[in-house]
Structure 1
Amino acid sequence: MSDHASEQSGTTPAPGMVAVVGAGAMGSGIAQVAAQAGHEVVLVDARDGAAQEAVERLRSTLGRLADKGRIGADEAAAAGGRLGVAEDLRTLPSCRLVIEAVVEDLEVKREIFAALAARQDADTILASNTSSLSITAIAEGIAHPDRIIGLHFFNPPPLMRLVEVVRGARSGTDSVDDACELVRAWGKTPVRCASTPGFIVNRVARPFYGEAQRMVAEGIADAATIDAALRGAGFRMGPLELTDLIGQDVNLAVGTSVWEQTDHDARYEPTAYQQDLVARGALGRKTGHGVYRYDESDQAVDASPDEAAVERLVGGPVRTDPVARTLAMLVNEALAVVVRGEATAEDVDTAMRLGANYPRGPIEWGREIGFDVIKAQLEELAEIYPGGRYRPSKALSQDLPGVGASTGLRPPG
């Protein structure tokens, strides 16, 4: 647990009105979490009837949870009764918190926040569920920007424990603290981070996908073999099968956004391999074909690994070892977040365990492998592949608070 995630408040905060702008999957899921936590919740959506439809779906969902014994029937009825709708932003009541969960378009979000800032109380927390846009940019020119923060929930919100609590350049400490306390009262684990491209999870995870794609394109091993190697290291899914599940187009869009927002840093450059998949319409499970081909039950039909190759590659030279090469990049990226002051080491590890389902946090993993080993591996890769992608973070040579000493162990496998 992170320092922030383990903080205990003396009392449970009294529920207040929560509004959710956007009645899609994410907005509806957030509304469900808030209603089950005891808040009166108001949904609003630009499409006529969408908010009411979402409320009806949520009440059905709560009923099914009760039927399965997941929650009590009284709890389901009470939570459903706390859900309501507003016609538009002008008719929203005064709220303790408003969470925006609409399309990832900066200008659309800025219009929403300007309207909210003009009508809500000055101490109402205004939060965006954006996964890729700058909270600083969203708040620019809007009244009382100290109350504007990011609350990045993970899909599906009722099940995923992590919430990234994002501070923009002008977000107030009180707003961030209050949001963390509220999120914790909802049974979630908040981690704090600065408003930087990809926040924690979507930035640190880029090498998990990118290294696998590069190794397949280079002919080091086939996709199934690389996926098997990473599963053997404890990851629930290999990177290539995971991008098929996410959608190659969705994964590429997130990666491209991070790359563009970091001035085309070579660390995040999208691969030609994935760009070609998207160009061919091979988007993964949803199209029946991505890295793998899928049958009618969504089972991959061409995903048998070469187990002998897995044994040969893991523990060998870093260039051809899917585990060592991927972990070196993940550790490097995680440490870079810490050394830039964007999040603590403990919050980075918590975020990657809970938000990306990693078996261990990358910094914890780096301690076990040895930061000196990671640095040597990256220097070796940088010689083979010049251009800046594999440049070691200066954090590998620094004594950072909360990072700790390395032990010099080799990676698992």
Structure 2
Amino acid sequence: MDTDLTEPEHARAEPVDEGSPFGPVGVVGAGAMGAGIAQVAATAGHAVTLVDAAPGAAATAVERIGAALSRLVGKGRLSSDDAAAVLARITPAETLDELPNCGLVIEAVPEDLELKRRIFGELADRQPSTTVLATNTSSIDIDDISAEVADPERVLGLHFFNPPPVMELVEVVHGERTADAYVEHALALMKAWGKTPVRCSSTPGFIVNRVARPFYGEAQRIVEAGIADAATVDWVLREKGGFPMGPLELTDFIGQDVNLAVGTSVWEQTGRDERYAPTAFQQELVEAGRLGRKSGRGVYAYAADGSLDASAQDGGPDLELAGRLVGGPVATDPLARTVAMLVNEAVDLVARGEASADDVDTAMRLGTRYPRGPIEWGREVGFDVVARQLAELDEAYPGGRYRPSPALTDGSLT
């Protein structure tokens, strides 16, 4: 069954319980993420003020939200009265001074630390001391963002996934100085908004963007080494692994430049740990302007409408090669190698106490649509088997990328 990635399956328009710890909601930044978050909050019953400093940007975003709600009405998922009520709850604004006293303000501006710090400093000065200040960052440390806030215990991350009205997952991220009471409030509110929240500490990439790094990196390294071509690797991960998209076609869809930037950010924030090192394969794609679907060419070539241009491809997957690789030595098996690395990354994150095993599995199933959570997958394969596979990889490719997590064999996850 095809999944509609532009509309939610169900829309709620009932007001939130008056006893909710949060009242009016402010959203700063009227791009795709900010507008989507505003729609989610208003659909859940909150009065929302959507702020963007660019003249007319917030008003234009409200028009886009209105069009999205109209599509829901046309599909019978929302009544026209409810759609009108949701839209009426959203007020556009151009300055932070126009925000009323809010229970929650969510910042959704570009990933610029200094910009975020300035916004949070202004919000802390203008909003009551009880207002929860949240950032939708996907990569910046929460404590860095709250560095100039006098009361950083109320600053946390609410990382929505794109598009917010559709995607169920929200990472609720706490810094070292975030008070637990605010985290619990945020978890409760996300549930009230119809989302599935997972809790994690503020570490590079949080859960999803960190655990997912090997999914892309192993495929790129396999192609770079000449073990298999891109179409064959993608076929193996899709058809044998059950992933909705192969890693190379997915990076074309995301944008090679965007995916490289996220991976580089995690690598830099982990002290250039070899486990997250960007590949020359992807760097060369970006330097050549082969950014994926949006540029017409990435790993693959695309027609003007964004569809795969079959006439410009080098050929389809080599099924005979795929049959020889899958089940063979782990160093040349795209599926076993990728799964081992995903499991290792997830196990390390849980062992460091950054998130629970259940939250990691939930985040990866909902945030990336993986067929299994990596901890669940590790239990199925056997953590001892994964440890042996990684030791094999580490011997074949020394340098630290494939070092096994001690938690694979210490019994803590059995």
TM range (shorter): over 0.9
* C-alpha contact (below 8 Å) 1:12/1:185 kept by paired residues: no
Give the CA deviation at 1:310: 1.3
**Which runs of no fewer than 5 residues in structure 1 stay unpaired?**
1-10, 405-413
Q: How does 1:110-125 map to 2 (within 5 A)?
A: 110-125=117-132
Give the secondary-structure state (helix, strand or coil) at the position aligned to 2:50: strand
Distance 1:50 1:149 in 2: 26
Distance 1:203 1:317 in 2: 26
Q: How does 1:184-203 map to 2 (within 5 A)?
A: 184-203=191-210
* 2:276 is the alignment partner of 1:264: no
Deviations, residues 234-284 of structure 1 (Å, cap 9, x unaligned): 100000000000000000000000000000000000000000000000000
Distance 2:64 2:396 in 1: 54
**Residue aligning to 1:210:** 217
Give the secondary-structure state (helix, strand or coil) at the position aligned to 1:331: helix
**Residue aligning to 1:244:** 252
**Residue aligning to 2:384:** 372
Give the CA deviation at 1:49: 1.1
Give the CA deviation at 1:140: 1.2
**Residue aligning to 2:13:** none
Residues 331/12 of structure 1: CA separation in 2 closer, same or farther (3 Å cut)? farther
Of 52, 64, 74, which residue of structure 2 is paired with 1:57?
64
Of 141, 146, 149, which residue of structure 2 is paired with 1:139?
146
Give the CA deviation at 1:398: 1.9
Question: TM-score w.r.t. structure 1 length?
Answer: 0.93
Of 373, 376, 385, which residue of structure 2 is paired with 1:361?
373
Question: TM-score w.r.t. structure 2 length?
Answer: 0.93
**Residue aligning to 1:282:** 290
Give the secondary-structure state (helix, strand or coil) at the position aligned to 1:141: coil
**Residue aligning to 1:407:** none
Give the secondary-structure state (helix, strand or coil) at the position aligned to 1:19: strand
* 2:150 is the alignment partner of 1:155: no
**Residue aligning to 2:359:** 347
Q: Which moved more, 1:298-307 or 1:92-101?
A: 298-307
Distance 2:137 2:44 in 1: 22
The one-letter amino acid paired with 2:103 is R
Of 305, 310, 321, which residue of structure 1 is paired with 2:317?
305
Give the CA deviation at 1:379: 0.4
* C-alpha contact (below 8 Å) 1:13/1:185 kept by paired residues: no
The one-letter amino acid paired with 1:110 is R
**Which runs of no fewer than 5 residues in structure 2 stay unpaired?**
1-16
Give the CA deviation at 1:60: 2.0
* C-alpha contact (below 8 Å) 2:117/2:148 kept by paired residues: no
Q: Which moved more, 1:307-316 or 1:23-32?
A: 307-316
Provide the aligned length of Structure 1 versus Structure 2. 392
**Residue aligning to 2:408:** 396
* C-alpha contact (below 8 Å) 2:152/2:178 kept by paired residues: yes
Give the CA deviation at 1:12: 8.1
Distance 1:331 1:65 in 2: 39
Distance 2:66 2:235 in 1: 41
**Residue aligning to 2:10:** none
Distance 2:176 2:327 in 1: 44
Distance 1:141 1:82 in 2: 32
**Residue aligning to 1:409:** none
**Residue aligning to 1:411:** none
Q: How does 1:6-25 map to 2 (within 5 A)?
A: 14=20, 16-25=23-32
Give the secondary-structure state (helix, strand or coil) at the position aligned to 1:127: strand
**Residue aligning to 1:32:** 39
Residues 13/356 of structure 1: CA separation in 2 closer, same or farther (3 Å cut)? farther
CA RMSD between the two structures = 1.1
Deviations, residues 190-242 of structure 1 (Å, cap 9, x unaligned): 00000000000000000000000000010000000000000021100000000
Distance 1:74 1:121 in 2: 33
**Residue aligning to 1:4:** none
* 2:341 is the alignment partner of 1:329: yes
**Residue aligning to 1:42:** 49
Give the secondary-structure state (helix, strand or coil) at the position aligned to 2:265: helix
* 2:231 is the alignment partner of 1:219: no
Q: How does 1:80-119 map to 2 (within 5 A)?
A: 80-119=87-126
Give the secondary-structure state (helix, strand or coil) at the position aligned to 1:98: strand
Give the secondary-structure state (helix, strand or coil) at the position aligned to 1:23: coil
* C-alpha contact (below 8 Å) 1:135/1:168 kept by paired residues: yes
Residues 12/215 of structure 1: CA separation in 2 closer, same or farther (3 Å cut)? farther
Residues 331/92 of structure 1: CA separation in 2 closer, same or farther (3 Å cut)? same
Of 253, 265, 281, which residue of structure 2 is paired with 1:273?
281
Distance 2:143 2:121 in 1: 14
Residues 118/294 of structure 1: CA separation in 2 closer, same or farther (3 Å cut)? same
The one-letter amino acid paired with 1:270 is P
